[in-house]
Copies of this chain bind each other. A is one copy, B any other.
Amino acid sequence: MARSTNARRPATLASLAAELGVSRTTVSNAYNRPDQLSPELRRRVLETARRLGYPGPDPVARSLRTRKAGAVGLLLTENLSYAFRDPAAVGFLEGLALACEDAGQGLLLVPASPEREDVAAVHRAGVDGFVVYSVPDDDPHLAAVLERPVPTVVCDQPEIDSVDSVGIDDRAATTALARHLIELGHRRIGVVCMRLGRDRNDDFVPLERQRDAHFHVQRTRLTALADAFATVGVDWATVPVVERFDHTTASGESAAAQVLDRDPEITALICTSDILALGAMTEAGRRGLRVPQDLTVTGFDGIPEAERAGLTTVRQPVLEKGRAAGRLLLDSAEHGRPRRVTLDTELIVGRTSGQPRAAAQIWYGP
């Protein structure tokens, strides 16, 4: 059977050069450095390439030779569904994508689901650097990234020696939020937080688990809350803290319910993300609790939906965070010590925080 010309072994730069009777270098130059050969020869090369079905230099072979992949890897060990549904994560992604686009670099989403222990995807990623966004500090994927000999920027992670990082001052931001609540008079509070480790624990969080939390951001916020409320005599051990693995409004609802079931007397429910807070508001409404008269609810992030809802929260510049991470990674200038970028946050006092009933009596009482 005669084979069509298409079916034969695909053309390469070398075969094209042979066909033309020129050197491989010349063919390479025809694509990469048009000024290095005569226009006439270049035309012939390109025409012959078309005739032979040569699709141009193979990107992988090129990468091998030039030692440049032209892409940045993004590691976010989060179930991708949640990542794309969390406006804060999407904003980060947008910022990072913009930085990459500006630099003409691709952005590779590395397939690393939390369940999958398989680190091979990290090894297989052909990238010039990694951005690691909010993964547990004991995640094997993170370890695998750090073993790769490429620059890395971590974001919302504990600082690592000799690795650049981007983040906010979670402690200061949380402290400001806590002070706001303290000044309003809240002393009996509950907390809803995101997952604290790689294992699922949709339940109350013992002090030990809070202290050993593997998500740096969550741990820092909890500690800051504990410290702030300690200054006004609140025993943190008595504060109900509930954790949710899935980062959804539904989680916020059920977690709020769990806290309120345990201690119906709390006057404020502090959530470590807006998504959770929005769910908590739903649950409050379901119980006939008015916000903020009966219950103060706060979030964290400052996503648009929270703003619309008038949520008291901490706004953080998520897009800038992504952009900063990208810039840091792509700015290849030599730098001795690791660079740290800390972005500003802003306490947004909305309509969901107010004085607790008891405090209100003190203020407005006889």
Q: Which residues of A contact B (CB under 8 A)?
A: 10, 53, 55-64, 69-71, 73, 80-81, 84-85, 90-91, 93-94, 97-98, 100-101, 103-111, 113, 118, 120-121, 123-126, 147-149
Cβ B111 vs Cβ A108 within 8 A: no
Chain B residues closer than 8 Å to A61, beta-carbon distance: 64
Instruction: Flag if B85 contacts A94 (CB, 8 Å).
Output: yes
Bound CA span A57–B64, Å: 12
B63 touches A60 (CB 8 A): yes
Q: Which residues of B are found within 8 Å of A84, using beta-carbon distances?
A: 90-91, 93-94, 97
Q: Please, which residue of chain B has its CB at the minimum distance from the CB of A113? A: B101
A189 CB, nearest partner CB in chain B, Å: 30
Q: Known contacts A55-B147, A57-B123, A104-B118; can you find 16 more A-B pairs with CB under 8 A? A: A55-B148, A56-B147, A60-B60, A61-B64, A63-B63, A63-B126, A64-B64, A70-B121, A70-B124, A70-B126, A80-B98, A80-B101, A84-B97, A103-B111, A108-B108, A109-B109
| Distance A105 CA – B57 CA, assembled complex (angstroms) | 23
Q: Which residues of B have CB within 8 Å of A108?
A: 71, 106-109
In angstroms, Cα B60 to Cα A148, docked, is 13
Query: Hey, which chain B residues are within 8 Å of A71, CB to CB?
Result: 108, 125-126
Q: Which 6 A-B pairs have the closest CB atoms?
A: A84-B94, A107-B109, A101-B111, A70-B124, A59-B126, A60-B63
User: Is the CB–CB distance between B126 and A126 below 8 Å?
Assistant: yes
CB distance from A255 to the nearest CB of B (A): 21
A111 with B121: CB separation less than 8 A = no
Query: What residues of chain B lie closer than 8 Å to A85, measured between beta carbons?
Result: 94
Task: Say which residue of B53, B94, B125, B149 sits within 8 Å of A55 (CB atoms).
Answer: B149
A126–B60 Cα distance when bound, in Å, is 6
A93 CB contacts on chain B under 8 angstroms: 84
What's the Cα separation between A121 and B123 when bound, in Å?
A: 23
Q: Check if A62 sits within 8 Å of B98, measured CB to CB.
A: no
| A110 / chain B contacts, CB cutoff of 8 Å | 106
Q: How far apart are the CA atoms of A94 and B86 in the complex, in Å?
A: 11
**How many whole Å from A31's CB to the nearest CB in chain B?**
8
Q: Contacting A109 at CB < 8 Å: which of B60, B106, B120?
A: B106
When distances are taken between beta carbons in the complex, the residues of chain B under 8 Å from A125 are 59, 70-71, 106
A113 proximity list for chain B (CB < 8 A): 101
